[in-house]
A and B are shown apart, each in its own frame.
Chain A
């Protein structure tokens, strides 16, 4: 048992206490993670009703399955894994609107901070990623960054699996070309 007050506990320890039935631990996890989760889900699905439902189901699932977190990787990533899969399930039951693809011109409008962050998170890949068209980026985001299978990505984006595969091939080809 740690001596730290609950508010300062790291996520993994907090999750362990939630597994033990600590309701106030769940509330703290919610305060830390629900905001970004809601925003991130909103970036993949424009329907706020479904997004709210998914956030709710995710944290109820966190409460019920906190013991199954294996300690590997960030708790945030584990939570995202639960959340994005629930979103895919929700979209399967009833397809909803996807957010409007931004018409921002790739590369030209990156601010200084954005450029640096891209570099920090993705290195050389960052710039190349940015130059992908919105549809290719969406596919890369779904499969590579969100960790979905081809089928799940197809459901999320509302396109056939074949299209997911071809777009992935095009994205890979473009990135390879850029980085060569």
Chain B
């Protein structure tokens, strides 16, 4: 390229005094010449260019919210908290697919058999789904950033509880959807209160032990109880019995009260902007 833009021409172009064909030829030249682009750049409004760049950075860098986060923000959770909650391992696609697989087997079994055995299978498995999901909410072996999280000012018990709530809601909703396929009407939801009771016990236990251990103990206890009942073929009857439902409800409420009202934990609920 033998001819370039002079500083006067650049200035004339920038302030708009060189209109018409000369301005067009400047523009045509700039498409191909980096040096002259640099020359013209010194005449451009730097303040505006800097603030536009700041906006571009923000748009390009800002993490895009996942579907879980969008759901949570719509429910009133702050975007920052939503990020923390959505990172729960049991809210990731792989976990959810696993839980759905378990539920589909159980529901398919129930739908396929015409007698009580199908319903029994489903009611055996369904209460465990929220418990297992909650076990995957937070913990040393579960959460990849556990160590770093423990060293940050964010109250870890608050993180644990908020995640448990999010995970519980999603897993209960999922299990409820599958209950529709069992074709036993409202009886298919008999798992709900026992499940909430078990989650409540897990939460109370986490004050003394880690989440996976607490969840494991509760699942083990449940398995023992079920084995005892299964030998007497009483599962469905027991599950549907009003007494079981009432006991479960009381246990769930009592655990919730213990967790929410204990003074040490109230500090965990302090909000930040």
B213–chain A nearest beta-carbon distance, Å: 41
Supposing A30-B56, A35-B40 touch, asked if A102 and B25 sit within 8 A by C-beta, the answer is no
Give the interface SS of chain A, mostly helix, strand, loop or mixed. Answer: helix
Contact between B21 and A56, CB atoms less than 8 A apart: no
- A120 proximity list for chain B (CB < 8 A): 2-3, 25, 29
- Report B18-43 residues with CB < 8 Å from chain A CB: 18-32, 34, 37-38, 40-41, 43
Does chain B have a CB within 8 A of A69?
A: no
- B2 proximity list for chain A (CB < 8 A): 120
Contact between A102 and B21, CB atoms less than 8 A apart: no
B3-20 to A contact mask, C-beta < 8 Å, 1/0: 101101100011011111
Does chain A have a CB within 8 A of B115?
A: no
Does chain A have a CB within 8 A of B60?
A: yes
Contact between B52 and A102, CB atoms less than 8 A apart: no
Does chain B have a CB within 8 A of A55?
A: yes
Instruction: Tell me the bound Cα distance from A101 to B43 in angstroms.
Output: 21
Number of interface residues of A (CB under 8 A): 50
A105-133 to B contact mask, C-beta < 8 Å, 1/0: 01000110110111011100010011010
Instruction: Tell me the bound Cα distance from A74 to B1 in angstroms.
Output: 15
Contact between B6 and A113, CB atoms less than 8 A apart: yes
Contact between B40 and A39, CB atoms less than 8 A apart: yes
Contact between A32 and B9, CB atoms less than 8 A apart: no
Supposing A38-B44, A60-B60, A76-B32 touch, asked if A43 and B16 sit within 8 A by C-beta, the answer is yes
Contact between B24 and A129, CB atoms less than 8 A apart: yes
Name B1's closest neighbour in chain A (CB-CB).
Answer: A120
Does chain A have a CB within 8 A of B49?
A: yes
Does chain A have a CB within 8 A of B55?
A: yes
Does chain B have a CB within 8 A of A104?
A: yes
Contact between A63 and B60, CB atoms less than 8 A apart: yes
Contact between B31 and A76, CB atoms less than 8 A apart: yes
Instruction: Tell me the bound Cα distance from A153 to B38 in angstroms.
Output: 29
Name B32's closest neighbour in chain A (CB-CB).
Answer: A74
Contact between B40 and A36, CB atoms less than 8 A apart: yes
Supposing A33-B37, A76-B37 touch, asked if A60 and B59 sit within 8 A by C-beta, the answer is yes
Contact between B17 and A39, CB atoms less than 8 A apart: no
Contact between B22 and A36, CB atoms less than 8 A apart: no
- A42 proximity list for chain B (CB < 8 A): 16
A42-67 to B contact mask, C-beta < 8 Å, 1/0: 11000010001001100110010000
Contact between A26 and B29, CB atoms less than 8 A apart: no
Instruction: Tell me the bound Cα distance from A113 to B23 in angstroms.
Output: 12
Does chain A have a CB within 8 A of B263?
A: no
- B9 contacts which of A38, A52, A114 (Cβ < 8 Å)? A114
What 6 A-B pairs have minimum CB-CB distances, sorted nearest first? A102-B19, A35-B44, A35-B41, A130-B21, A121-B25, A114-B22
